[in-house]
Structure 1
Amino acid sequence: MTAETHARASGRTAHVMAQIRSRIASGALTNGDRLPSIRGFAASLGVSPSTVVEAYDRLAAEGLIRARAGSGFFVQASSVASLPLGARATLPGPREVDPFWVSRQSLDADDESPKPGCGWLPADWMPQAALRRALRNVARAEDAVLLNYGRTQGDFDLRRLLARRAAEEGLALDPANIMLTGSGSQSIDLICRLLLKPGDTVLVDDPCYFNFRALLKAHQVQVISVAMTPTGPDLTAFENALEASAPRLYLTNSALHNPTGATLSPPVAHRLLKLAEAHNLLILEDDIFTDFEPEPSVRLAALDGLNRVIRIGSFSKTLSASLRCGYIAARAEWIEGLVDLQIAAQFGGPSPIVTHVIGEVLTGGSYRKHMEEVRRRLNRTRRSVIARLTTLGIEPWLEPRGGFYLWCQLPEGVSSTALAQAAMAEGVVMAPGNVFSAAQTASRFMRFNVAQMADEKSWQVLERGAA
């Protein structure tokens, strides 16, 4: 057996063991319960019976389970108590590959694990020197910054900076129309709390960012989707959906759409706003990727003037995912309601320490150069990744104008979900297509983060999967 074959076999055995530990930790298997049959469990996990036998033998050696001659394997009476508290708290139960699965794998993977399916840049791409300098400066700030709650709408200087940046694209904003939040995801959550009730219908692109789907599921709304094209949503399907389902809200990325990389065209943008007005549709425009664009593209918020469009964004993709801060730009009466909700949820806006660090980096003179270098580096990396993917028969749906995502079609007969599961068994995090698709029509698609594909292990997994 070669070293590579041995590593794969060990990874499969570890995966089976983790499944049993998960079931015990979650309570799906309790004291004295019989474990799944060897053949049945092997079939359900897509591994050989010998792999399950080895996993069961190892768990028995650990004292977690025990064998009964002629009867099978059973949970040891003391096994649940013997599990460390941390393991019982953190091991998830068996679950399908869904948006939550991808988020958990991405967030909980070791720092050394390859993550071509994650949604952020590697640490060495980020402005570490500027962040460390800003952190040193904030440590010398006045006591209120270090010790007080955040103001209800967040730091005024950072809101004023966001208003100035919006003015550069033709969107006149008063800082009073902007509130800072704990993150971009929290911004969406607050807006859903304000504008939606259980049973309402929300329209999303197909595919769309997988956490849109996760958040909407948490709010117990009905989700319908329309196919995405390289210039925006399919307008015929969009209009049909409005007439058939009367959705309350449409959630989208206009620029460098996640996951496809598409960019909204002016004709589609104008038509969308006319349809929204005719059908009393509100639009939530997630503008998180704006600074990755080589040149600014059309924005619904700028065309609409925040009449029925709400803009959100954050700084996790360009500065640091550790500095949790997002923002909402909306009509004054909506901001009032959103502020109340944020007070109820977390008693004030985001940490003054965080907002001061972000504000200092954005105004410190190095941010524009940082983003120029990131865009150049992404362009080089994207071309290289596309060329290598193509040799494996993996084809990009389009080549984006910017950003770090590639939405790609796998070879005929290759399931992206199965590939992601096999990759995870080897410690590689990937993002399969159907987690982005409400209609479940993307089984052959995979989203790749080109900046996270330097590790050869990712390519080895892809080569085996594509074959």
Structure 2
Amino acid sequence: MAKTKIDIAMDIVKEQIANKSLIAGSRLPSVRQLATQLNFSVSTIVEAYTRLVSAGILESRIGAGYFVVGHVVQAQVFETKIQYQREIDPLWISRQSLDAKSNVFKPGCGWLPNSWMPEQTVRKALKQVAKSETELLIDYAVPNGHLQLRQWIARRKQNYDLNLDLEQILITDSATQSIDLIFRLLLQAGDVILVDDPCYFNFQALIKAHHLKAVAIPFTEHGPDIEHFKQALSLKPKIYLTNSGIHNPTGASLSIQTAFQVAKLAEQANLMIIEDEIFADFEYQHAPRYASLAGFEHVIQIGSFTKTLSAAVRCGYIIANTQKIEALIDLRIATNFSHSNLNAEIVYHALMDSGYLKHIDWLKKQLVKAMNESIYKLALLDIHPWIIPKAGIFLWCRLPKDILASALSKYCLKNDVILAPGNAFSQADGAAHFMRFNVAQCIDKRIFDVLEAGIREIRKHDHIDDD
């Protein structure tokens, strides 16, 4: 981005300090003098000096002016040491992806490239929100959260034959925070919870943090395996946590038959279904929702706007019956008091912008193209998807029989490619030979070159060991 006049003025001062034209204790030109020299406004120089004071570079002395600080303490920045042995830790992939430099490829992460996000829509929303009334910019949100955003969510849910009271919707700061709140409300340490196998690795991390007992239900191309689900009910689980719409990591979509059977079993067993529909906007055709089949007595629905709008503007939601929402509000006030009303306002303005719907249409087309290209390029390496997803960003792929996902992940990480090995999503024996790929992050040819080199290197060492 082009530098502002404030940035230019700050850079001039920093350069003079760096080349010793200004030394510790030196008095700077007055704001009027520097403004005249640079042909800038006085307010610009005041802002530049003020920012340099905040940065600890200058100090302001009342009645005397601005002076160079005698000794500036620079915080040391240490490069994070990569722990290659953590490749099957559920949090490892996220930490490496979040910490990765710009030159690192991230086909194992769970989000879209920055260039695929609606940056201009977000910028436009930021400008609109900046003009809002003081109350919105400064004050806490109402207990249920941003009213207009809840109205938008309620209108959207009508597409799933759900007619919601606005009091059934609670705005949160993220889908992860939503799950954490629900766990705090409904569960105690040692309680049994059902999850899909494989499942999103952060589900496992949250389960571990709450000291719960997880029972894995094999996930088929149509949803959870019904027979295993029935058997697991004998353990008296309190919650079934799953993705509705597009499943993570497999990309599979729930069938109406499976959804109906699971909803019926949950009702009979007094089991609460938590359905995370965070990838809903990627769907071409809506997959069944448990909430549509069973209502909100036995279903809680969560989601966020991270995947298609902005990961920086954190905002999510919970939909449940009013009794549970009331209890969740009390819990949220006790633990976090409120949510970011400012973020919710930004999200609302972005969602209402005509450019957002156009972006979603464009995004779906790009994902179809990326999906087909990724399947083709992976097949050349004898890496094949478990199923061909109907939509979304993920491929759950089976590696060649002689290749372990952990070994391939280690090799690729050392060559600036972060992968998502199967053991992060499942403890089943076969998971060691699976990998989750984010097709939107698989555009660059170099990713496949590194994969090919890694497979070749692993086979070479295996051959030497055999000899």
TM-score (norm 1): 0.79
Q: Pick from 295, 310, 326: which aligns with 2:300?
A: 310
Q: Pick from 106, 123, 141: which aligns with 1:115?
A: 106
* Pairs within 5 Å for 1:170-319: 170-243=161-234, 245-319=235-309
Amino acid at match of 1:134: A
1:298, 1:162 → 2: CA distance? 17
Amino acid at match of 2:123: R
- Aligned match of 2:381: 392
Displacement of 1:87: 3.6
Matched, 1:371 2:360: yes
- Aligned match of 1:413: 402
SS in 2 for 1:312: strand
Displacement of 1:123: 1.0
Amino acid at match of 2:167: A
Q: CA deviation digits over 1:192-220, x for unaligned, max 9?
A: 00011000011100000010001110000
TM-score (norm 2): 0.79
2:100, 2:316 → 1: CA distance? 24
Amino acid at match of 1:281: L
Question: CA contact under 8 A between 2:264 and 2:294: conserved in structure 1?
Answer: no
Amino acid at match of 1:190: L
2:451, 2:348 → 1: CA distance? 40
* Pairs within 5 Å for 1:297-446: 297-349=287-339, 351-439=340-428, 441-446=430-435
1:193, 1:317 → 2: CA distance? 25
1:195, 1:375 → 2: CA distance? 36
Question: CA contact under 8 A between 1:184 and 1:312: conserved in structure 2?
Answer: yes
- Aligned match of 2:90: 99
Displacement of 1:96: 2.9
Displacement of 1:465: 2.6
- Aligned match of 1:125: 116
1:402, 1:93 → 2: CA distance? 34
Return 5+ residue gaps in structure 2 as ranges.
Answer: 1-74, 457-467
Q: CA deviation digits over 1:219-244, x for unaligned, max 9?
A: 0000110111100011111111112x
1:92, 1:402 → 2: CA distance? 33
- Aligned match of 2:131: 140
2:213, 2:123 → 1: CA distance? 44
2:239, 2:286 → 1: CA distance? 25
Question: CA contact under 8 A between 2:103 and 2:416: conserved in structure 1?
Answer: no
- Aligned match of 1:39: none
1:399, 1:185 → 2: CA distance? 27
Amino acid at match of 1:381: A
1:155, 1:389 → 2: CA distance? 44
- Aligned match of 2:46: none
Displacement of 1:93: 7.0
Question: CA contact under 8 A between 2:377 and 2:448: conserved in structure 1?
Answer: no
Question: CA contact under 8 A between 1:153 and 1:348: conserved in structure 2?
Answer: no
Identity %: 46
Question: CA contact under 8 A between 2:239 and 2:271: conserved in structure 1?
Answer: yes
Return 5+ residue gaps in structure 1 as ranges.
Answer: 1-83
Question: CA contact under 8 A between 1:414 and 1:465: conserved in structure 2?
Answer: no
RMSD, matched Cα: 1.6
Q: 1:171 to 1:133 in 2, by over 3 A?
A: same
Aligned residue-pair number? 381
SS in 1 for 2:300: strand
SS in 2 for 1:442: helix
Displacement of 1:278: 1.8
Question: CA contact under 8 A between 1:172 and 1:305: conserved in structure 2?
Answer: no
1:155, 1:356 → 2: CA distance? 7
Q: 1:368 to 1:94 in 2, by over 3 A?
A: closer
Question: CA contact under 8 A between 2:107 and 2:418: conserved in structure 1?
Answer: yes
